Amino acid sequence: MNLTYVIPDVHGRDDLLGRALAAISAHRGGEGGTIVMIGDYVDKGPRSRQVIERLLSGVAGWNLVALKGNHDAMMVQGLRDPAKLASWLEKGGDTALASYGGNSSDVPESHISWLDQRPLMHADIHRVYVHAGVDPELPLEQQDEVTMLWKRYPKGDGAGFGTRHVVHGHDNDPDGPLLLEGRTNLDTLAWRTGRLVVGVFDDDRPGGPVDLIVVKGPPAGL
């Protein structure tokens, strides 16, 4: 069985990311597979730098697909355009910058470039993986970056993308994940709640997750 494991928004919670990767390895019994991370590696939580350093090293024995989230894009813009720095800091970038020592000049260019170069989407025969969502009326190759990074689905909207199931994060629900017929939203506000949920998808079977892996750590501030 070929499996894809999907890790949603970690927002600087390197402790949860480490536990998730260990839990995935245990679930797979030492075999490899594909891990898709759907963005928002930085901001809000305390260890954005450590998250990026971990991902830059890759995950031995696994195909790691690390997508871009809106907070990742904001960090790149804030550090490359002084006019956008304050806006990024106000939206959680202050904690990300603190993880580098507090000075924007201390953020390695390799980290900025890595975030900037993240793909916006990953698709296989049965699913589309994206940070925020897709427009079901447009072909995948014509999807807009703003939609993929910022979309919020109307409440109760279970539409996917044609026959493909959409797997995303971005729109947090502390009681999630949200499992609908056409899409799965895995974002459980993990940086604050300390509860991260990994979706497990069978590459040969359409639809939503065949399993969920829940990893826990302390809530924010504890």
Q: What is the pLDDT of residues 156-193, one digit of tens each?
A: 899 899 999 999 999 999 999 999 999 999 999 999 99
Distance between start and end Cα atoms, the chain: 39
Quick check: 222 pLDDT over 80?
Answer: no
Task: Please report the pLDDT score of residue 184 as a whole number.
Answer: 98
Alpha carbon 1 to chain centroid distance?
24
CA-to-CA distance for 111 and 126, rounded, in angstroms? 32
For residue 56, count other CB atoms closer than 10 A to its CB: 12
Buried b (16+ CB within 10 A) or exposed e, 10-24: bbbbbbbbbbbbebb
State yes or no: pLDDT of 35 exceeds 70: yes
Q: Is domain 3-68+119-216 annotated with CATH 3.40.50.920?
A: no
Kindly state the tokens that stand for 171: 């729109």
Query: pTM for this one?
Result: 0.96
The yes-or-no verdict on residue 114 having pLDDT over 80 is yes
Average pLDDT of the chain to the nearest whole number: 96
What is the sign, positive or negative, of the torsion defined by CA atoms of 104, 108, 111, 112? positive
The C-alpha atoms of residue 153 and residue 120 are separated, in whole angstroms, by 17
Domain extents for the chain? 3-68+119-216
Mean pLDDT over residues 94-117, rounded? 97
